[in-house]
Amino acid sequence: MKKFQLLAFLLVGIVTVSFAQQKVVKTVVIKTPTVQCENCKKRIENYMSHEEGIQKVVVDFKKKTTTVTYLTDRTNPENIKALIANVGYDADDITAEPDAYKRLPSCCKKPEDGGGPAKN
Protein backbone atom coordinates (compact mmCIF):
# COMPACT_ATOMS: atom_id res chain seq x y z
CA MET A 1 0.00 0.00 0.00
CA LYS A 2 2.84 2.40 0.83
CA LYS A 3 4.39 1.77 -2.61
CA PHE A 4 1.10 2.65 -4.27
CA GLN A 5 0.81 5.90 -2.28
CA LEU A 6 4.41 6.83 -3.10
CA LEU A 7 3.85 6.10 -6.79
CA ALA A 8 0.64 8.15 -6.83
CA PHE A 9 2.37 11.03 -5.05
CA LEU A 10 5.26 11.01 -7.53
CA LEU A 11 2.89 10.87 -10.50
CA VAL A 12 0.87 13.85 -9.22
CA GLY A 13 4.11 15.76 -8.60
CA ILE A 14 5.45 15.09 -12.10
CA VAL A 15 2.18 16.11 -13.75
CA THR A 16 2.02 19.29 -11.65
CA VAL A 17 5.59 20.28 -12.53
CA SER A 18 5.05 19.61 -16.24
CA PHE A 19 1.94 21.81 -16.29
CA ALA A 20 3.74 24.57 -14.40
CA GLN A 21 6.58 24.57 -16.94
CA GLN A 22 4.34 24.93 -19.98
CA LYS A 23 4.98 28.17 -21.78
CA VAL A 24 1.98 30.31 -22.62
CA VAL A 25 2.15 31.74 -26.11
CA LYS A 26 -0.06 34.67 -27.09
CA THR A 27 -0.47 36.81 -30.18
CA VAL A 28 -1.13 40.54 -30.20
CA VAL A 29 -1.98 42.82 -33.13
CA ILE A 30 -0.58 46.32 -32.77
CA LYS A 31 -1.53 49.27 -34.94
CA THR A 32 1.59 50.73 -36.54
CA PRO A 33 0.25 53.70 -38.51
CA THR A 34 3.66 55.12 -39.44
CA VAL A 35 4.84 51.98 -41.25
CA GLN A 36 5.17 53.03 -44.90
CA CYS A 37 6.97 50.40 -46.97
CA GLU A 38 8.83 47.10 -47.27
CA ASN A 39 11.89 48.75 -45.71
CA CYS A 40 9.87 49.57 -42.57
CA LYS A 41 8.62 45.99 -42.45
CA LYS A 42 12.17 44.60 -42.59
CA ARG A 43 13.44 47.02 -39.93
CA ILE A 44 10.77 46.06 -37.41
CA GLU A 45 10.86 42.32 -38.12
CA ASN A 46 14.68 42.16 -37.92
CA TYR A 47 14.86 44.19 -34.71
CA MET A 48 12.05 42.31 -32.98
CA SER A 49 13.27 38.83 -33.99
CA HIS A 50 16.29 39.21 -31.68
CA GLU A 51 14.29 40.13 -28.58
CA GLU A 52 13.77 37.66 -25.76
CA GLY A 53 10.31 36.10 -25.70
CA ILE A 54 9.38 37.13 -29.24
CA GLN A 55 8.59 34.09 -31.36
CA LYS A 56 7.20 35.60 -34.55
CA VAL A 57 6.71 39.07 -36.02
CA VAL A 58 4.68 39.87 -39.13
CA VAL A 59 4.38 43.48 -40.30
CA ASP A 60 1.65 44.32 -42.81
CA PHE A 61 2.52 47.79 -44.07
CA LYS A 62 -0.59 47.96 -46.26
CA LYS A 63 -2.92 47.35 -43.29
CA LYS A 64 -0.50 49.21 -40.97
CA THR A 65 -0.46 46.44 -38.36
CA THR A 66 2.21 44.38 -36.66
CA THR A 67 1.28 40.92 -35.40
CA VAL A 68 3.57 39.53 -32.70
CA THR A 69 3.55 36.05 -31.17
CA TYR A 70 5.31 36.03 -27.81
CA LEU A 71 5.89 34.08 -24.59
CA THR A 72 3.91 35.61 -21.74
CA ASP A 73 6.55 34.73 -19.14
CA ARG A 74 9.21 36.71 -21.04
CA THR A 75 7.45 39.83 -22.36
CA ASN A 76 4.10 41.58 -22.68
CA PRO A 77 2.24 43.85 -25.12
CA GLU A 78 3.52 47.06 -23.49
CA ASN A 79 7.13 45.94 -23.87
CA ILE A 80 6.46 44.97 -27.49
CA LYS A 81 5.01 48.42 -28.22
CA ALA A 82 8.05 50.04 -26.60
CA LEU A 83 10.35 47.95 -28.79
CA ILE A 84 8.53 49.09 -31.92
CA ALA A 85 8.78 52.70 -30.74
CA ASN A 86 12.51 52.21 -30.17
CA VAL A 87 12.89 51.27 -33.86
CA GLY A 88 11.27 54.59 -34.78
CA TYR A 89 7.60 53.76 -35.39
CA ASP A 90 4.37 54.57 -33.56
CA ALA A 91 2.78 51.55 -31.86
CA ASP A 92 -0.85 51.93 -30.77
CA ASP A 93 -0.77 54.70 -28.15
CA ILE A 94 3.04 54.87 -27.90
CA THR A 95 4.82 57.45 -30.05
CA ALA A 96 8.04 56.63 -31.86
CA GLU A 97 11.26 57.44 -30.05
CA PRO A 98 12.34 60.79 -31.63
CA ASP A 99 16.03 59.96 -32.15
CA ALA A 100 15.20 56.59 -33.73
CA TYR A 101 12.62 58.26 -35.98
CA LYS A 102 15.24 60.80 -37.16
CA ARG A 103 17.55 57.94 -38.18
CA LEU A 104 14.93 56.33 -40.44
CA PRO A 105 15.41 56.72 -44.20
CA SER A 106 13.10 59.29 -45.81
CA CYS A 107 10.89 56.58 -47.36
CA CYS A 108 10.00 55.42 -43.83
CA LYS A 109 8.98 58.81 -42.49
CA LYS A 110 5.54 60.41 -42.46
CA PRO A 111 4.67 62.43 -45.57
CA GLU A 112 4.30 65.62 -43.48
CA ASP A 113 7.96 65.15 -42.45
CA GLY A 114 9.10 64.98 -46.07
CA GLY A 115 8.94 61.20 -46.25
CA GLY A 116 6.64 58.56 -47.54
CA PRO A 117 6.83 55.77 -50.08
CA ALA A 118 9.07 56.43 -53.07
CA LYS A 119 7.12 57.50 -56.13
CA ASN A 120 8.06 56.20 -59.58
**DSSP string across 25-76:** EEEEEEE-TT--SHHHHHHHHHHHHTSTTEEEEEEETTTTEEEEEEETTT--
- The number of distinct structural domains making up the chain is 1
Answer yes or no: is 53 within a domain.
Answer: yes
pLDDT digit string, tens, across residues 74-108: 999 999 999 999 999 999 999 999 999 999 998 88
CATH value at residue 80:
3.30.70.100
User: Identity (one letter) of the amino acid at 57?
Assistant: V
Rounded distance between C-alpha atoms, residue 97 and residue 55, angstroms: 24
pLDDT digit string, tens, across residues 108-120: 887 776 666 554 3
Answer yes or no: is 2 within a domain.
Answer: no
Record the pTM.
Answer: 0.76
Answer yes or no: is 120 within a domain.
Answer: no
Answer yes or no: is 33 within a domain.
Answer: yes
pLDDT digit string, tens, across residues 37-61: 999 999 999 999 889 999 999 999 9
